[in-house]
Amino acid sequence: MKDRNDTRYAGPRVGSPPWLHLAVVTSAGTGAILVAAVRLRGAGVLVRHPVFWVVAMMIVAGEIWPVVMPGRSRIEAPALSVTTGFAALLYWGWPVAVLLRAAVTLAVQPAQKAPPHRVALSAAQDALSLAAAGAVLAALGFGPAPGQPWRPAGGQLPAVLAAAAAYFAAGFAIAAHGLALRSRTALLAVARQRLGPQALAHLMMLGAAPLMTVAMATGSAVMTALFAFPFMAVYVNAAVSVQREHQAHHDELTGLSNRKLLARRAAEALAAAAARRGKAGFLLLDLDRFKEVNDTLGHAVGDRLLTIVAHRLTHSVRPGDVVARLGGDEFAVLLPAVRTAAAAREVASRLRAALAEPVRLDAIMLDIEASVGIAIYPDDAASFDQLMQRADVAMYLAKERRSGIERYSALADRNSAERLALTSELRGAIHRGQIDLAFQPALRLADGQVISMEALARWPHPTRGTLPAADFVDLAEQSQLASELTSLILEKALAQAARWWAAGLRVQVSVNLPARDLLRAGLADMVRQALGRHGLPPGALRLDVSEHALASAARQAAGTIRALADLGVGLTLDDFGTGYSSLAQLTRLGVTEVKLDPALIAGLPGCPDQLATVRSLVRLAQSLGIRSVGEGVETDAAAAALRAIGCDGAQGWHIARPLSGAIAGRWLAGRLGGVVPGGELAGAAPGA
């Protein structure tokens, strides 16, 4: 059964530039074949001559066994049929050569399961090349025919060379133009890359044609057939070279390019991109949970799975893209030409979709998922090694975030110079207290009353502008600055809450608590002291802990969470619904609120399955006395859907955008009816 992603037999899309190229060349070639049929004379004499059938068989053999050269595909390979076809043109005239080559192509290539459009294009290209050579001979006064074959003579060599040049130029121009359109590469770049090897191969093949006509002129079929032996030697040597080259540059299991060949192709692609001032892309793919397949079903099944993955990748990329296996379950895709990073992401999405089709192996259905990292030349890297390293960083980031696809970011690269410099700057900003806060309210859906004001960190960077927490909190956690950052945010949030409470705006302030702080000794005492310094009761503060953070350190953090609950601080489970926690466990720990993950809210109310999931989570929370708040509410429809299913509260841009402390104070005064001191209203800046 053919894989649904197999595109080997699909022709170019109708109306596309490759389709127009195919249509024009095929039409012109068909015209040349028809003209050849009309102009053919003496066919009866020809078919009765044994030499004709020897030449025909040699053309057939050449089509079946092309002389594939190292580093070149079968399509690009010169064939013995080039020599014999050109010899037929010199000896009997171009109509005979055109019809003979067309007949052999139309008979042999379909038997080799070549797609129809490829067969038609090949026959047309041969016909036009031979017609061009015949036109040159005719212009120079040479007109061989079946009844008047050409007799080789030294003085006619310039005419032969001119005809050979016309033959090669016509065929090369057609092939290069088609390849440029299919690979979306400049015609000049394709010609520059392939002209040398193709010219050398055709020089050898076409240069032997006059010698073959000498054997044909003897009238001996045996003498003509003996001419095949030198070509057999060339073929055998080329085949051995190709086998060695293939083994050195291809993966043994999948047949894909290996790291060595990928590096060579990448060097060529980056040089071409630099010359045209364009971009190249690099995708690194790693299969998720592949080790489980090997450990459970065995390495033989794992190898079969890898070959299926290789097949799907190969037939899901664009023409001209290079797929390679780097080892294990790691694959790479080189995109020699991309206009934007979005185009590379589109290719990555298509590859993941192709891999997502379930695979049946030994009566077991397997789902394949992959994490993809993207790096773009020259935006993210200046060399192939750097491109691969940075795609690797992005791929592991995709695994950590479970997002499937990630583009390289210097801020996420723990080893980049830019990240090290930013870490140093963040350390200085924390020590100088240069982290600002914005506040985003959460409202009760039933009556619009304020539930809490969430403190969101903002870093006013001197050159990068104001950075949101997502751009530097991970940096702080990975550089041992998380506790210092949390202490600073907590201090500033409580200071702002104290001013609001003094103005009669008794609202609860929530602060996000990183996973690392859950393991921090004395956290509850630090929070108690901070509340005391600002004269606030424990109920004025709510601490948000992400569900993933709690799941990764539940046993170690249980004591800290219990101590905070005993203190009287409100506890919220953030990003709830990602499937890690037991609500019964949360009640034992003292969690009193859950914030539903924004990914669950984004599809409301248009997705019935998602709506049913959110309804179940809300009802489960309510049954345990835990308040539910929908996070990331961006539309009135989403808010209405949450209200209809009984969700307690909502937070998001539909409710209010993040506000500076001053503007948040005025907003709260309008909601709660308190009096905001004049200092609260001065210098208000919009929140991010």
Q: What average pLDDT does this structure show over 462-473?
A: 88
Q: 512 with 651: CB under 8 angstroms?
A: no
Q: 518 with 546: CB under 8 angstroms?
A: no
Helix, strand counts (H, E) of the chain = 29, 17
Instruction: Of 62-71, 93-102, 318-327, 586-595, give the lowest mean pLDDT range.
Output: 62-71
pLDDT: which is higher, 653 or 298: 653
Phi, psi of 604 (to 5 degrees): -80, 145
Helices (H), 140-258: 157-183, 187-207, 209-217, 221-226, 228-249
Q: What average pLDDT does this structure show over 662-672?
A: 90
pLDDT at 84: 86
Q: What average pLDDT does this structure show over 312-339?
A: 90
pTM, two decimal places:
0.49
pLDDT at 332: 95
* Domain-wise residue ranges, the chain: 17-249, 259-408, 434-673
How many Å apart are CA 144 and CA 89, to the nearest integer?
8
Burial class (CB in 10 A: 0-12, 13-18, 19+), 672: middle
Count the alpha carbons within 13 Å of 415 in the hemisphere toward its beta carbon: 6
Q: Is the pLDDT of residue 186 over 90?
A: no
Q: How confident is the model at residue 416 (pLDDT cuts 50, 70, 90)?
A: low
Q: 257 with 324: CB under 8 angstroms?
A: yes
SS3 458: strand
How many Å apart are CA 395 and CA 413, to the nearest integer?
11
Helix (H) / strand (E) containing 334: strand 330-338
Q: How confident is the model at residue 236 (pLDDT cuts 50, 70, 90)?
A: low
Nearest Cα to Cα of residue 659 among 408, 454, 416: 454
Residue position matching structure tokens 């304020």: 450
pLDDT: which is higher, 460 or 213: 460
Beta strand segments in 352-470, E: 359-361, 364-366, 370-377, 405-407, 436-444, 450-461, 465-468
Query: What one-character DSSP code corresponds to residue 86?
Result: H
Q: What is the CATH number of domain 434-673?
A: 3.20.20.450
Q: Is the pLDDT of residue 684 over 60?
A: no
Domain 259-408, CATH among 3.40.50.740, 3.30.230.10, 3.30.70.270, 2.40.30.10: 3.30.70.270
Own/partner long-range contacts of 456-464 (Cβ < 8 Å, ≥24 apart): 456/658, 457/485, 457/489, 458/688, 459/426, 459/429, 459/434, 459/435, 460/434, 460/436, 461/425, 461/429
How many Å apart are CA 113 and CA 59, to the nearest integer?
19
Q: What average pLDDT does this structure show over 422-440?
A: 92
SS3 361: strand
**What are the tokens at 49?**
């001559």
For the chain, what is the mean pLDDT?
83
Q: 498 with 677: CB under 8 angstroms?
A: no
In tens, the pLDDT along 93-140 reads 889 989 988 888 888 888 878 888 888 998 999 999 999 999 999 898
Instruction: Of 71-80, 395-404, 519-528, 571-580, give the lowest mean pLDDT range.
Output: 71-80
CA distances from 57 to 14, 84, 434, 585 (A): 36, 10, 84, 81
**What are the tokens at 672?**
């709660």
